[in-house]
Structure 1
Amino acid sequence: MSTPEYYVLPAVSVIDVVGADAPAIVNNLTTQEVLSLNQGQGHESFITDVRGKTVGHVHVFRQENAFRMIGAVGQSQRIAAHVDRYTIREDAIPKIRDEDFKYFLLSSAAVLKAMEAKSLDVGPGGASGSEGRTTADGSNSPNDPLDATTVSIGGIDAQLVDVRWLADDSRLMLVAAGDAAVASDELQKLGFEMHEEACFHRLRTQRGFPWYGIDIDESNLPQEINRDRETLSFTKGCYLGQETVARLDAMGQVQRKLVRWSIEGASPAPSTTLQSDGKTVGRLTSVASTGGGESCALGFARRTHFDPGAIASGIDESTQTTFVATVLK
């Protein structure tokens, strides 16, 4: 990106699970292996119920005496109740922290410029630590831990965490609600380009990241979301819903899967269905215009349309025009 950018997100789900037994409880409820994480490290993970359905989709970070789960807004009550339900005598208490913070999503370029300008002081292992996770093609390895660190901006403390919401180009800064104006002023002094939530959703759709409550809900199985490498561990041992996840892995198939679509000549609304040979083969969940009458989307596809290059058609209800949608890699 030529100009460093940041996005103001009005709300995010943040749940801290605290107590001596928090590691065991969180590991028992997540699809990723989190027990081996060091303080300040994290993984992307699903939280599953006994049927293997997705109760939540979060980034899980190990903190001092706690695990912090961070994800799309609207998940906190459900996840906290889920943790409570499966905590019997263990010492593990879920605490909802959504309203304790304000949220700034920074591009990697913004983080680096802020560090160079000495406006952002980053703790040991933070921000630059992501460079150690890059693979031969320059992308981040999906199985290596994400980073979380304490930072100082404008003289106030904040937390800076790696999130995959914009692929490998995003860091979420959590600032105490009362200090948000200080952080915002500091970012504006640096000349960063500020965007609102709608711009964030457009870009995360283009980058292919699913959002719980929009693209994912409790009816989905983890493998249907098409993020197996980032979110699933098949070596961690038992956890709630593991039997279903392992069986699907052994069978090698789900009946629907979230894929990226390229759309020609339209920008249809989410929930638009896609057809092929007279059958419904897909349903759009997030749609973003890419200009020139073209769009990209996230949406579910049936098995016949899992592979890149598969083609379907739909009707843009706002214009009553037919469009063509192609599955992207």
Structure 2
Amino acid sequence: MADSPLLAVPGAVPAEGVDAGVPAHYGNPIVEQRDLERGLALVDCSGRGVVRVEGPDRLSWLDSMASQSLARLAPGESAEALFLDAGGHVEHAVHVLDDGVATWLVAEGGDADALGSWLDRMRFMLRVEVSVRTDEFAVLGTAAEDPAALLPDGVTAAAPNDVPLVWRDPWSHVAAGGYQYATDPEHPAAEWRWSEVLVPRDALRALAAAARTGSVRMAGSLAAEALRIAAWRPRFATEVDDRSLPHELDWLRTAVHLSKGCYRGQETVAKVHNLGRPPRRLVMLHLDGSDTVLPAHGEVVSAIKQLPEGEQERRAVGTITASGLHHELGPIALAVVKRAVPDDIALIVESHDIDVAASQVAVVPSGAGAAVEVPRLPRLGARR
């Protein structure tokens, strides 16, 4: 995918890593973050991929494979879904929007082609057609209540079937059929407002021209990531690896319907939720900002274990998935750690040859799981 035209806006600094190809910021990421949070700015998410599924069997077909209930998705209604392997591990994550004729899936840019190919192989004899449309459509993100109001003259949301393609993130509440592991009564997702607008890709040039004149406010990917981290919102490109289960990321909130019909990986989802415990768990970290170090994706999170002899031993317990500088919280990060790590233990992040102290907030508590109480059977031969 070619670099975004927004990188030609004066002051634009290119992003690195999973958001390479779009601006990380335009000179002042903290101001941009405040503008974004207030619903005054757009984010160039044109690095994301777009897959279109059309045909009369599309919704029932997607429903049979996805973790979310999609069979009755109404035109203009938004949903989030995962495609899992047979062991319940996350293989693809999509933002889903139907326009009455076609279903649109927004995926990470690096995953869209693989997702499109996999879906195409799964069509069999059903009346569906799959096409990757990333070259034709780009994604813009915003926290505005009315995303269309931020678009400059000449730029409108794509509406190929007279339904504007605007996906609204369901993360602000537990979706129907979902389940929340987080126990914090003031879940930060309650303040999370995020929408993704599909526009024709050639409209990015008009958007860049408007940004140059100041008629539209833009925020970079750093602003969006900091707000996402503060909302405990998982993202496929950062929080997911080849072992990830939805439970570990509290993704049952919005991406899994626990009462829908059979789909690949459902047995593991149900078993872990009802009888087991996620082997790992997501935490948010408040980082010591003394050394002005923001850890990178994949860097090691450690804990100090007290040994019986009174000595201490440092042990790796997880990895950083994403980090950012929040305008109120300061340096923060998301990390995936082992389930057995106590919720209240202090952690250390090893970054740039510096030990960064970190205090954790449990997104998925160490005691999460086993939602169904299984009656204990009496021992054989025991008197009653």
**Amino acid across the alignment from 2:271:** R
Deviations 1:34-58 (A, max 9, x none): 1121111121111112222211111
Aligned to 2:173: 141
CA distance in structure 1 between the partners assigned to 2:321 and 2:39 by the alignment: 30
**Residues 263 and 297 of structure 1 are in contact (CA less than 8 Å); yes or no, is this contact kept in structure 2?**
yes
Aligned to 2:218: 194
Alignment of 1:294-309 (within 5 A): 294-305=330-341, 307=343, 309=344
Distance 1:168 1:315, change over 3 A: closer
Distance 1:75 1:262, change over 3 A: same
Aligned to 1:152: none
Say which SS state the counterpart of residue 239 (structure 2) adopts: coil
Q: % of aligned pairs identical?
A: 18
Distance 1:275 1:122, change over 3 A: closer
**Residues 267 and 293 of structure 1 are in contact (CA less than 8 Å); yes or no, is this contact kept in structure 2?**
no
Aligned to 1:74: 110
CA distance in structure 1 between the partners assigned to 2:241 and 2:56 by the alignment: 31
CA distance in structure 1 between the partners assigned to 2:66 and 2:157 by the alignment: 32
**Amino acid across the alignment from 2:347:** A
Alignment of 1:58-73 (within 5 A): 58-73=94-109
Distance 1:187 1:41, change over 3 A: farther
Say which SS state the counterpart of residue 99 (structure 1) adopts: coil
RMSD of aligned alpha carbons: 3.7
CA distance in structure 2 between the partners assigned to 1:195 and 1:129 by the alignment: 19
**Amino acid across the alignment from 2:62:** V
Aligned to 1:314: 349
Aligned to 1:213: 237
**1:94 counterpart = 2:118:** no
Alignment of 1:204-283 (within 5 A): 204-265=228-289, 266-276=293-303, 277=305, 278-283=314-319
**1:284 counterpart = 2:320:** yes
CA distance in structure 2 between the partners assigned to 1:128 and 1:74 by the alignment: 21
**Residues 282 and 300 of structure 1 are in contact (CA less than 8 Å); yes or no, is this contact kept in structure 2?**
yes
**Residues 54 and 103 of structure 2 are in contact (CA less than 8 Å); yes or no, is this contact kept in structure 1?**
yes
**Residues 306 and 327 of structure 1 are in contact (CA less than 8 Å); yes or no, is this contact kept in structure 2?**
no
**Residues 3 and 193 of structure 1 are in contact (CA less than 8 Å); yes or no, is this contact kept in structure 2?**
no
**Amino acid across the alignment from 1:105:** G
**Residues 166 and 195 of structure 2 are in contact (CA less than 8 Å); yes or no, is this contact kept in structure 1?**
no
Question: TM-score normalised to the size of structure 2?
Answer: 0.68
Distance 1:170 1:189, change over 3 A: farther
Say which SS state the counterpart of residue 83 (structure 1) adopts: helix
Say which SS state the counterpart of residue 305 (structure 1) adopts: coil
**Amino acid across the alignment from 2:230:** Q
**1:327 counterpart = 2:361:** yes
**Amino acid across the alignment from 2:252:** D
Say which SS state the counterpart of residue 15 (structure 1) adopts: strand
CA distance in structure 2 between the partners assigned to 1:47 and 1:37 by the alignment: 17
**Amino acid across the alignment from 1:101:** F
Deviations 1:15-65 (A, max 9, x none): 111122211221011111011211111211111122222111111122222
**Amino acid across the alignment from 1:55:** E
Distance 1:241 1:104, change over 3 A: same
**Amino acid across the alignment from 1:74:** G
**Residues 49 and 111 of structure 2 are in contact (CA less than 8 Å); yes or no, is this contact kept in structure 1?**
yes
Q: Which runs of 5+ in 1 are unaligned?
A: 134-138, 146-164
CA distance in structure 1 between the partners assigned to 2:157 and 2:301 by the alignment: 49
Distance 1:67 1:180, change over 3 A: same
**Residues 34 and 42 of structure 1 are in contact (CA less than 8 Å); yes or no, is this contact kept in structure 2?**
no
Distance 1:85 1:111, change over 3 A: closer
CA drift at 1:234: 1.2
**Residues 83 and 93 of structure 2 are in contact (CA less than 8 Å); yes or no, is this contact kept in structure 1?**
yes
Say which SS state the counterpart of residue 238 (structure 2) adopts: coil
Deviations 1:254-291 (A, max 9, x none): 11022222112342222221222133222111111247
Aligned to 2:199: 175
**Residues 16 and 66 of structure 1 are in contact (CA less than 8 Å); yes or no, is this contact kept in structure 2?**
yes
Aligned to 1:13: 49
Say which SS state the counterpart of residue 231 (structure 1) adopts: coil
CA drift at 1:315: 2.5
Deviations 1:273-314 (A, max 9, x none): 12221332221111112479952111101112374x442223
Distance 1:255 1:237, change over 3 A: same
CA distance in structure 2 between the partners assigned to 1:19 and 1:121 by the alignment: 22
CA drift at 1:228: 0.9
Distance 1:239 1:203, change over 3 A: same
Distance 1:34 1:190, change over 3 A: farther
**Residues 172 and 193 of structure 2 are in contact (CA less than 8 Å); yes or no, is this contact kept in structure 1?**
no
Q: Which runs of 5+ in 2 are unaligned?
A: 1-36, 178-188, 306-313, 364-384
Say which SS state the counterpart of residue 220 (structure 1) adopts: coil
**Amino acid across the alignment from 1:325:** S
**Amino acid across the alignment from 1:313:** I
Say which SS state the counterpart of residue 91 (structure 2) adopts: strand
CA drift at 1:5: 1.2
**Amino acid across the alignment from 1:311:** A
Pick the structure with greater CA Rg: 2
Aligned to 2:142: 106
